[in-house]
Amino acid sequence: MAGILDTVDQRTQLVGENRLEILMFRLSGRQLFAINVFKVQEVLHLPKLTLIPQRNPVVCGVVNLRGQTLPVIDLSQAIGMRPLTPSDKSTIIVTEYNRSVQAFLVGGVDRILNLSWESILPPPGGAGRAHYLTAITKVDDQIVEIIDVEKVLSEIVPMSSKVSASKLEDPLLEKARGREVLLVDDSGVAMNQLRETMAQLDIRTHSAGDGLKALKLLKLWADSNADVPNKLLMVITDAEMPEMDGYRLTTEIRNDPRLQDLYVVLHTSLSGSFNEAMVKKVGCDDFLSKFQPDKLVDTVRKRLQMLEDQGKI
């Protein structure tokens, strides 16, 4: 399993190409699931598992991996399916989301596949595990369900959108009141956190569930003769989304003379050092890891300061 992942340098070649690599795996049945390879550190057999008291029901315990203690989450149970039984033959996928590292217990890893985001579709509506999906795709005539890991993690450790009182006392933020931003994300958890943070600044929000919907909305405004870069304080976009990712969205914005001056912030759960290089490649103005309301406010303040220095506010 050690050789299943490509190097980071090879994977960065996908940036701006509207493509992604998914790691496919099974849980407690034949259904195939997947997550983005960008978020996977390694795949290995389950090391010695240590139980912990008063743990969340979906947390099997913790493992020590090269001096780092990681929680092991039963991904099957976390999305409402039959729990898995850990053993020394079990497989874990070690991932990094939002600056935290955790391991997911799975039934077995299938393979890595390179796909176009255009072949990734929003999940169907409904109850059950559909609430834990961000997208679906089809591989060899079989549906592959892409898991909303942010939602899984938020149910284990709830995410806060509350901004520190000291941040809100900044007088420059008064100039944010009534301004508009466009939020682009396919995760309901992330979108709600963004909206709630922006509401504390009295900023009006528009939203789109993927990059293609966002681009269509921006072009619609431009076609209506709106000065879009002046209308919006910024665009805050996720990186990985069905149909069009945040990197391609940024590229399309930069290629449209009516939109190219928009301030674009990449807001993602991917690791920071990895994303800084990708941000420069596609021309984003800033990068921010998800679920950091104070830093999101700092980003808004930075943009306001730029506009004030330019005499635009």
Q: Is 133 helix (H, G, I), strand (E, B) or coil?
A: strand
Average pLDDT of the residues in 183-194: 91
pLDDT at 283: 86
For residues 304 and 188, the model is more confident at 304
Provide the residue count of the chain: 313
What band does 16 get if pLDDT is binned at 50, 70 and 90?
low
The model carries a pTM of 0.82
Q: What is the pLDDT of residues 152-163, one digit of tens each?
A: 999 998 878 899
Tell me the mean pLDDT in the region 192-217: 96
What does the mean pLDDT of the chain come to?
88
CA angle 304, 307, 311 (to 5 degrees): 135
Q: Residue 264: which of 254, 278, 276 has the closest Cα?
A: 254
Short-list 193, 128, 171, 163, CA closest to 295: 163
| pLDDT reported for residue 217 | 98
The token duo for 77 is 């149970």
Instruction: Give the pLDDT confidence of 272-293 residue by residue, as tens digits.
Output: 555 566 677 778 999 888 889 9
User: Do residues 247 and 235 make contact, with C-beta atoms less than 8 angstroms apart?
Assistant: no
Alpha carbon distance 66, 47 (integer Å):
11
Q: Which pLDDT does position 129 carry in this prediction?
A: 73
pLDDT category of residue 62 using cuts at 50, 70 and 90: very high
Q: How far apart are CA 15 and CA 242, in angstroms?
A: 15
Q: What pLDDT, on the 0 to 100 scale, is given for residue 188?
A: 86
Q: Which two tokens stand for residue 32?
A: 């195939």
In this prediction, residues 79-86 reach a mean pLDDT of: 94
Q: Band the pLDDT of 116: cuts 50, 70, 90.
A: confident
